[in-house]
Amino acid sequence: MANRPQILTDMQVSFCGSAGDGTIAAGDIFKRAMAEAGYQIIAFDVYPPEIRGFGKCIARTRVTFDQVYSLKPQSDVLLSLDDSHAIPHVGEVRDYGAVIYEDRPMATVEEGEHMSGHLKPAQLPYGVSFRELSERATSGARFRNIVAVGFIAGLYGLPRDLFHRTIGRKFAGKPAEVTESNIAAFDLGYDDGAKTFQVDINGFGPPPKRKKSEKVLMMHGNSAVARGCLSAKIDTFFGYPITPATSIMEILAKEMPKRGGRLLQTEDEISAVAAIVGAGFTGSRSATSTSGPGLALMTEVMGLGSIAEVPCVIFVSQRGGPSTGMPTKTEQSDLNLAVRGVAGDAQRIVLAPTNVEGCFKCAGIAFEIAEKYQTPVIVLLDLYLSNRYEAVALPNKNPFKLDATKWAKKPGKGDAYQRYKLTPDFISPRAIPGQQGMQHTITGLEHNELGRPNDQPAMHEAMSHKRHEKLKTAINYPNLTTSKRFGDKGRVRVGVLSWGSTFGECLEAMITVRKQGITCSAMKVVMISPLPVDEISRFMDDCDVVLVPELNYEGQFASIVMGTLGRPVHRLNRVTGTPMAVNDIIEEIQILAADKPKRRKAAE
């Protein structure tokens, strides 16, 4: 409409359909086009474990002018490709938001099962003939999803050519007719949207202007991990597919051979982790990826990595558990396993990025840390972060060191090389097989400085001390943000302490409550083990009360914090299989800020 004030974009679009409807593909085209236009993007797809014909798929994309940190609790647009799945989500659309649905279905609709009967009075209905338009464009109904993308683009006046380019790229490897059909379907949808009067008051304003030097890419957490691995010049990858970690391996399988790397799909997770320990022993930068059930299988061999002091990296994307659990739902419930799931008295380094850019950084720096401290490093994601898309500005220069090893010098004549030499910094100079004069053995048995089995009390004590103490200095590893505080400085009413993917929601909640007049800070903790105790302690000193929201039943991070620091925190736990709702955190902060001592006491 004319004479509208220019809007600062903050639109969340949700595509909802059944597996096989092309819901995720529609969302993918939409978000890629928006990212190319220059908007900030956060996107997250939810899909069922079944391959096709069952279950609900939702692709949500938040498109913004300014940087944001999570999806919104309510979407501005819900597009239904299958009303039976989308109807339960109508309540997630804001007042005066748009609900777009099929108004010429192929088959008879049972009474009460059409979207038009479920809209709230303040929501805006757009009935569109996706099927008919698809049939008109391509003689088939399977391009309904692309018609739907076209309709949204036309309705909100988004550039047509931008989507043409995105569709072209998406189907680049396929016969030309595939791209042509998709573009024809898109165009008919676009034309229909363009001639439809947009009653929705909100819309898309112009995107922000980017610096020319900035390289902005849209990627999800797993692709950022893969890119981090490639930037760190990973040599070998061994893995066994498991949702939601599989795409890390898929991307590396394509990219590593081009760069001289080797990737092998092993027969199971035990083989995978054994292979990376073996590869790490030889000096190869090596990694695997898995999820909770795979990590459980890997723990024994990771113990070998700890005692043999072999650098290797394990990427873990958590999902709902225990056991097979909920493979396509998110959860943060493998923290205990990652930090403490080990036979014997070993500590390991665990990093948990909080956003997609963090996935890139943590992935690359994990190799440095593993080499520097000669130990397995776990990088802990979850399904939400693995699959969440963001527009990420990557540095043009490779930020990672390609060798962080403290190498051994050739021993003097008559001296034996001591692989596990006790040193003031607890890190033994390292050598790899084939280095002249530095032959040595490694073993899972406790050993002496030469690496020979030795179970004498003093030796076990000395080696245990060495293995623990060397990790403590990892807190100070350069260029690694182990924790960071945001929001109000100084004394605050409520502090939110968070880790992993949930931090985005915490940040959004903190920003909201500050606007409501509550003094609030949020701290993200990226290094979970060893824990940056001093920073957390200083943060807690400043807070009247500390809230720890996380997606597990027990409050695993809260327990680690309380156990390590001996200070009370207030837990907020959800195990819905979905990301933490920002409103839940806001509500909890409001309750805590309102000072309800009874409730707080009970929680503590």
Partner 1 sequence: MKKPLRYAIIGSGAAGTEAACQLRLRDPESEITVITASKLQFISRYDLPRVFEGVDDWRELLVYPPEFYEDNRITVRRNTWVAGVNPRENKLNFRHKEEMSYDKLLVASGGGGYMPEALREFLPYMNPFSTFSNAARLRDSLGKKGKVLMLGSDMVGLDLARYLTSAGHDVTVYANELLFWPHEIKPEDTAPYVKALETMGIKVVFGRKPVAVEPVNSSSKAGKYTRRLVFEKGKAELANVVMPFYGLMPALDFMIGANVDIERGLLVNPELKTTNDRIWAAGDVCQIWSPEENRYSFYYGWNNVKEMGHLAAHNMTGDNREIKTAQTNELKITKKGELHSPYWEHD
* Interacting residues toward partner 1 by CB under 8 A: 1-4, 95-96, 102-105, 107-111, 113-114, 116-117, 119-122, 124-127, 197, 199, 201
Is the CB of 42 or the CB of 93 nearer to partner 1?
A: 93
DSSP state letter for 210: P
**Shortest distance in whole angstroms from residue 197 CB to partner 1:** 4
**Shortest distance in whole angstroms from residue 229 CB to partner 1:** 49
Is the CB of 125 or the CB of 168 nearer to partner 1?
A: 125
**Shortest distance in whole angstroms from residue 198 CB to partner 1:** 9
Q: What is the residue-wise DSSP string for 389-439?
A: EEEEEE-SS--S-S----BPPPPPTTPPP-TT---TTS---B--TT-TT--
Q: What is the residue-wise DSSP string for 477-488?
A: -TT---EEEEE-
**Shortest distance in whole angstroms from residue 392 CB to partner 1:** 37
**Shortest distance in whole angstroms from residue 336 CB to partner 1:** 45
Token digits of residue 315: 């990427």
DSSP state letter for 326: B
Distance from C-alpha of 560 to C-alpha of 186, rounded to nearest angstrom: 51
Distance from C-alpha of 339 to C-alpha of 342, rounded to nearest angstrom: 8
Is the CB of 1 or the CB of 458 nearer to partner 1?
A: 1
Is the CB of 116 or the CB of 265 nearer to partner 1?
A: 116
**Shortest distance in whole angstroms from residue 4 CB to partner 1:** 7
Is the CB of 101 or the CB of 400 nearer to partner 1?
A: 101
Burial label, 169 (beta-carbon count in 10 A; 0-12, 13-18, 19+): middle
Instruction: Estimate to the nearest angstrom the gap between the alpha carbon of 501 and the chain centroid.
Output: 6
In the three-class reduction of DSSP (H, G, I as helix; E, B as strand; rest coil), residue 209 is classed as coil
**Shortest distance in whole angstroms from residue 136 CB to partner 1:** 18
Paired with 351 in beta bridges are 379, 527
Is the CB of 95 or the CB of 455 nearer to partner 1?
A: 95
Token digits of residue 522: 């949020």
Is the CB of 128 or the CB of 585 nearer to partner 1?
A: 128
Is the CB of 198 or the CB of 448 nearer to partner 1?
A: 198
Is the CB of 102 or the CB of 508 nearer to partner 1?
A: 102
* Peptide bond before residue 244 is cis, with ω within 30 degrees of 0: yes
In the three-class reduction of DSSP (H, G, I as helix; E, B as strand; rest coil), residue 289 is classed as strand
Is the CB of 201 or the CB of 402 nearer to partner 1?
A: 201
**Following CA atoms 440, 442, 443, 444 in sequence, which dihedral angle do they give, to the nearest 10 degrees?**
150
Q: Please provide residue 455's backbone torsions phi and psi, each rounded to the nearest 5 degrees.
A: -115, 25
**Shortest distance in whole angstroms from residue 21 CB to partner 1:** 18
Distance from C-alpha of 473 to C-alpha of 203, rounded to nearest angstrom: 50
Distance from C-alpha of 457 to C-alpha of 291, rounded to nearest angstrom: 37
Q: How many residues does the chain have?
A: 604
Is the CB of 118 or the CB of 485 nearer to partner 1?
A: 118
**Shortest distance in whole angstroms from residue 2 CB to partner 1:** 5
Is the CB of 55 or the CB of 127 nearer to partner 1?
A: 127
Full strand arrangement of the beta sheet holding 312-318: 262-265, 236-239, 286-290, 312-318, 376-382, 349-351, 527-529
Is the CB of 133 or the CB of 380 nearer to partner 1?
A: 133
CA dihedral (233, 302, 359, 496) positive or negative: negative
**Shortest distance in whole angstroms from residue 118 CB to partner 1:** 9
Distance from C-alpha of 488 to C-alpha of 297, rounded to nearest angstrom: 43
Q: What is the residue-wise DSSP string for 127-176?
A: EE-HHHHHHHHHSSSTTHHHHHHHHHHHHTT--HHHHHHHHHHHTTTS-H
Token digits of residue 312: 């290797």
**Shortest distance in whole angstroms from residue 314 CB to partner 1:** 52
Burial label, 213 (beta-carbon count in 10 A; 0-12, 13-18, 19+): exposed
**Shortest distance in whole angstroms from residue 131 CB to partner 1:** 11
Is the CB of 197 or the CB of 397 nearer to partner 1?
A: 197
Distance from C-alpha of 447 to C-alpha of 460, rounded to nearest angstrom: 8
**Shortest distance in whole angstroms from residue 25 CB to partner 1:** 25
**Shortest distance in whole angstroms from residue 119 CB to partner 1:** 7
Tell which residue, 365, 371, 364, has the closest CA to residue 404. 371
Token digits of residue 481: 């943000």
